């Protein structure tokens, strides 16, 4: 009978295969015969389907036979080597609804089954799938197949599955965690939120990105505190998603968590914080943000202000403008610093009002900001500042010069009759900058009158400026007034002769001394005869004088007016010099005393006929490696004595190291930097930066504890510069240089100068390690290593 059925089946199937070549009656009878024979025909029908495309009668027969009982035939066909058979069966399984698709889930474990085909079938029947069976299969399949199971789960996931998904979120397999994160991201529950927040710390980028995306879609509160660290993510795509998420979650507390981000050393991270502020900030939020930064290191505040100013959007700018009127001096100062980085015309009126601020810092920086904006609207207000005290007037002159509007020329000329010599100099220089053909005659006339001044420096500056004005006018107008030039020369000569007079001053007759005006032959306090000016540094003028009492030449270093008016600075100078003047060593300039001349102050110290190490570096005179090593060893010897007396220099740099023609080395200015600083601050009350950015140690930049290792770092930077010709960090502006010190990562000195040995390179890099604990701990350790290297080189 079976043989007969097989014969009948084959004959009937052949008719079905030729369905378009037989009569309808024949086709119908053949179909009926196949149905009567039953499911035993299924394998033959499946085999025949590969050779009969779009055969509807054949497909209908297979669909008619398909149920839970016959499903194994179809499952076997899914593993067939003939891809056309697999494709046809997949279509039939997708189309039919007479079987339980959950019976196919176990096929994920079958290596013979095409898994992508299985996913397509199951996804079509998603309404009938049992999620428990899918979860059970996750633990039975490999990682690659598990991803496909999750793909099916994506179509049927619902909140009842959350507990199981949370379990798989702890999987060691990153692929599993990623797909779980994608599934969880569809729900807004506290459990899901907490798990996604946890996944923000996942080591895999895509998982963190998916978690952020899910958190941004939450309908429940999401804490900004947990999202903000993602702004520091090294992956810029994730960083951008963190910005987007923080904006979406609308957490009103976000601003206070951005404080830390704004302090970051990375510009990209600081920019990310500002991008958030641009979207969510309001005046109250910006005020809270800046207030929270009140106690931060000065360099952190400056960096944050720069970030807010450079990329702050309209909301940030509007909030900052409002702070210029705040009662809090700190907020006004910070606001004006931010506005110095913003070029927004809306700021002009606010900055003009700030020119009348009671705080000198705000006034000065407001003038700077107006100068950068180049707004002509600021001219009247800046002109009014010319009538204020000399320091304020100088600020106005600088701003007017930078703006470059010739409307300022007439008011400046009218102020040339001021008695303050330094102010007069500033006005003369400004007139030279602003001069044009239209105003040249007025300026020339004014400068000629100034040449009648009794002050030699004023006459000289007026003469030089007049030359410049005439030359500029000649260039612009194509002519020059010979009469004016001749008159100028005659006047200059006459007045030069009258300046060579000896003058004696005393504390009783002079309340304030302008050291710039001191001339050779003048005598201070009937004791110190001016010999010559040596130079001018951050602390003030350096003048060589003859002490008539002991008949010896010494140096007087006058403190500049800003320091001289800062009582706390004066007190610290007295305190510091009590200790530093006890330092006596051949390699240290001896400090004698702290002197007062009325309300002016000066430090007397040893005179050492020499030049600075900065002169040698600048003129490429440090090519002799062994000589350089000897110089550094001498500096180490001098520093050792100071350090043994608990004195830290704080401003070691080439300009503070003197060398004479016999290669004798001396360190100058011990105690001055320590006296000028306020506690751990790197800026004096007068606004003067203590230390030199190119040579400042990271802990000094950060305002942290300073000790002898700070000097070691600065000396290491000096060494680097001596042996390579350039310091490791020298950026376009001071702040950028300071940040480089904090970041470290200096290029090895040997890469800059292959002529130095590996040993010397290691010594230099050891000295400038960003971490003080990993530097030389004592100055004599550095000196000993250098001495050992020198002995090795010379033997």
CATH at residue 628: 1.10.510.10
Mean pLDDT of 657-669: 93
Task: Give the mean model confidence (pLDDT) for residues 324-334.
Answer: 89
Instruction: Give the confidence band of 579 by pLDDT, cuts at 50, 70, 90.
Output: low
* pLDDT at 6 > cutoff 80: no
Q: Which of 606, 625, 652 is the last residue of a domain?
A: 606
Strand partners, 556: 543, 604
The pLDDT assigned to 311 comes to: 67
Q: Are residues 767 and 647 in the same domain?
A: yes
pLDDT at 466: 84
Question: Is residue 566 domain-shared with residue 648, that is, in the same domain?
Answer: no
Residues 670 and 763 in one domain: yes
pLDDT bracket for residue 684 (50, 70, 90): very low
State how far Cα 746 lies from the chain centre.
17
Show which of 606, 627, 653 is a domain's final residue.
Answer: 606
531 and 657 within one domain: no
543: nearest Cα among 459, 488, 607, 460:
607
> Cα(486)–Cα(100) distance, rounded to whole angstroms?
113
* Residues listed for the chain: 795
pLDDT band of 488, cuts 50, 70, 90: very low
622 and 657, same domain (yes or no) = yes
Helices 329-339, 283-292: axis angle to 10 degrees equals: 110
| pTM of the predicted structure, to 2 decimals | 0.52
Mean pLDDT of the chain: 84
Backbone angle region of 525, left / alpha / beta, with phi > 0 → left and psi within -120 to 50 → alpha: left
Average pLDDT over residues 102-106: 95
Q: What percent of the chain has pLDDT over 90?
A: 41
Q: What is the pLDDT of residue 493?
A: 32
Top pLDDT among 364 and 493 is at: 364
Using one digit for the tens of pLDDT, what is the confidence trace for 362-380? Answer: 888 899 889 888 889 999 9
pLDDT of residue 654: 94
With 60 as the cut, is the pLDDT of residue 509 above it?
no
Neighbour tally for 176: CB within 10 Å: 19
* Cβ atoms of 425 and 461 closer than 8 Å: yes
**β-pairing, 552-558 with 541-547?**
antiparallel
Flag whether 443 is in a domain: no
Token pair for residue 111? Answer: 């290596």
Tell the burial category of 76 from Cβ atoms under 10 Å away from its Cβ (0-12, 13-18, 19+).
Answer: middle
Asked if 515 and 637 sit in the same domain, the reply is no
Domain region containing 702: 611-794
**Residue 523, class by beta-carbon neighbours within 10 Å (0-12 exposed, 13-18 middle, 19+ buried)?**
middle
> In terms of domains, do 660 and 687 share one?
yes
- The whole-number pLDDT of residue 565 equals 62
- β-partners of residue 595 are 602
Q: Is 646 inside any structural domain? A: yes
Tell me the C-alpha distance between 665 and 195, whole Å. Answer: 65
Give the residue from 606, 630, 647 where a domain finishes: 606
Same-domain check for residues 556 and 579: yes
For residues 779 and 692, membership in a common domain is answered with yes
Do 778 and 631 belong together in one domain?
A: yes
Q: Which residue has the higher pLDDT, 436 or 488?
A: 436
Q: Both tokens of residue 424? A: 């007069």
User: Does residue 655 lie in a domain region?
Assistant: yes
The burial of 111, by beta-carbon neighbours within 10 Å (0-12 exposed, 13-18 middle, 19 or more buried), is given as: exposed
Q: Is residue 404 part of a domain?
A: no
**What pLDDT score was predicted for residue 456?**
80
Q: Rounded to an integer, what distance in angstroms lies between the CA atom of residue 241 and that of residue 230?
A: 9
In a domain, 418, yes or no: no
Question: How many structural domains does the chain have?
Answer: 2
What order of strands is seen across the sheet that includes strand 665-667? Answer: 611-612, 657-659, 665-667
Instruction: Look up the CATH number of the domain holding residue 537.
Output: 3.30.200.20
- Does 235 reside within a domain? no
CA dihedral 379, 384, 387, 389 (to 10 degrees): -80
* Domain presence at residue 745: yes
Of 577-581, 738-742, 762-766, where does mean pLDDT reach its minimum?
A: 577-581
With the C-alpha atoms ordered 783, 787, 793, 794, is the resulting torsion angle positive or negative? positive
The arithmetic mean of pLDDT across residues 683-691, rounded, is 42
**Residues linked to residue 524 through DSSP beta bridges, in sequence order:** 505, 528
In this prediction, residues 332-361 reach a mean pLDDT of: 87
For residues 726 and 774, membership in a common domain is answered with yes
Same domain? For 667 and 779 the reply is yes
| Residue 16 covered by a domain | no
């Amino acid at each position: 009978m079976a043989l007969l059925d097989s014969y009948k089946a084959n004959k009937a199937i052949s008719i079905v295969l030729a369905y378009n070549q037989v009569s309808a009656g024949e086709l119908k009878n053949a179909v009926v015969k196949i149905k009567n024979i039953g499911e035993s025909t299924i394998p033959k029908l499946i085999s025949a389907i590969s050779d009969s495309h779009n055969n509807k009668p054949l497909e209908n027969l297979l669909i008619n036979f398909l149920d839970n009982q016959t499903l194994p035939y179809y499952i076997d066909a899914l593993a067939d080597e003939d891809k056309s058979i697999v494709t046809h069966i997949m279509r039939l399984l997708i189309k039919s609804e007479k079987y339980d698709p959950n019976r196919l889930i176990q096929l994920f474990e079958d290596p013979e089954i095409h898994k992508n085909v299985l996913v397509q079938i199951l996804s079509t029947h998603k309404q009938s799938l049992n999620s428990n069976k899918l979860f059970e299969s996750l633990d039975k399949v490999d990682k690659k197949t598990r991803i496909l199971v999750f793909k099916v789960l994506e179509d049927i996931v619902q909140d009842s599955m959350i507990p199981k998904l949370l379990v798989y979120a702890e999987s060691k397999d990153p692929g599993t965690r990623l797909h779980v994160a994608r599934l969880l991201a569809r729900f807004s529950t506290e459990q899901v939120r907490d798990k996604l927040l946890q996944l923000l710390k996942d080591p895999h980028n895509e998982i963190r990105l998916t978690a952020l995306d899910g958190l941004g879609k939450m309908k429940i509160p999401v804490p900004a505190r947990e999202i903000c660290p993602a702004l520091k993510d090294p992956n810029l795509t994730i960083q951008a998603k963190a910005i987007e998420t923080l904006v979406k979650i609308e957490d009103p507390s976000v601003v206070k968590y951005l404080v830390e981000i704004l302090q970051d050393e990375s510009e990209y991270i600081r920019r990310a914080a500002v991008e958030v502020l641009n979207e969510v900030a309001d005046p109250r939020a910006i005020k809270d943000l800046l207030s929270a930064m009140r106690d931060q290191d000065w360099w952190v505040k400056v960096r944050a202000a720069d970030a807010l100013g450079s990329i702050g959007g309209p909301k940030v700018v509007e909030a900052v403008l409002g702070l210029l009127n705040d009662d809090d001096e700190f907020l006004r100062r910070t606001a004006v610093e931010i506005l110095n980085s913003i070029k927004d015309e809306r700021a002009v009126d606010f900055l003009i009002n700030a020119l009348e601020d009671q705080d000198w810092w705000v006034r000065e920086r407001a003038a700077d900001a107006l100068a950068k904006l180049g707004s002509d609207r600021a001219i009247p207000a800046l002109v009014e500042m010319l009538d204020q005290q000399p320091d304020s007037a100088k600020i106005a002159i600088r701003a007017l010069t930078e703006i470059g509007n010739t409307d300022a020329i007439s008011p400046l000329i009218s102020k040339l009759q001021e008695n303050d010599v330094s102010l007069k100099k500033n006005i003369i220089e400004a007139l030279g900058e602003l001069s044009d053909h239209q105003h040249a005659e007025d300026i020339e006339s004014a400068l000629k009158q100034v040449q009648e001044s009794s002050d030699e420096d004023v006459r000289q500056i007026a003469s030089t400026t007049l030359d410049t004005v005439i030359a500029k006018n000649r260039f612009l107008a194509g002519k020059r007034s010979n009469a004016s030039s001749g008159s100028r020369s005659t006047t200059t000569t006459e007045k030069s002769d009258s300046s060579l007079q000896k003058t004696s001053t005393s504390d009783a007759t002079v309340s304030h001394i302008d050291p710039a005006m001191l001339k050779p032959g003048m005598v201070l306090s009937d004791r110190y005869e001016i010999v010559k000016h040596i130079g001018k540094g951050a602390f003030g003028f350096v003048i060589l004088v003859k002490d008539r009492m002991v008949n010896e030449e010494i140096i007087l270093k006058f403190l500049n007016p800003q320091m001289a008016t800062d009582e706390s600075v004066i007190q610290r100078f007295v305190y510091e010099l009590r200790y530093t003047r006890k330092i006596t060593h051949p390699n240290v300039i001896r400090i004698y005393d702290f002197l007062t001349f009325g309300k002016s102050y000066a430090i007397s110290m040893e005179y050492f006929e020499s030049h600075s190490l900065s002169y040698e570096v600048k003129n490429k005179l440090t090519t002799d490696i062994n000589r350089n090593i000897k110089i550094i060893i001498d500096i180490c010897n001098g520093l050792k004595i100071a350090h043994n007396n608990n004195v830290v220099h704080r401003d070691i740099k080439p300009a503070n190291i003197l060398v004479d023609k016999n290669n004798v080395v001396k360190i100058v200015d011990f105690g001055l930097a320590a006296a000028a600083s306020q506690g751990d601050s790197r800026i004096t009350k007068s606004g003067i930066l203590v230390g030199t950015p190119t040579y400042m140690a990271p802990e000094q930049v950060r305002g942290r504890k300073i000790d002898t290792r700070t000097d070691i770092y600065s000396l290491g930077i000096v060494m680097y510069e001596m042996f390579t010709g350039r310091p490791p960090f020298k950026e376009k502006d001071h702040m950028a240089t300071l940040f480089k010190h904090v970041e470290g990562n200096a290029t090895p000195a040997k890469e800059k100068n292959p002529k130095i040995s590996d040993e010397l390179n290691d010594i230099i890099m050891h000295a400038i390690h960003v971490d003080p604990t990993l530097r030389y701990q004592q100055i004599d350790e550095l000196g000993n290593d250098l001495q050992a290297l020198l002995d090795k080189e010379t033997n």
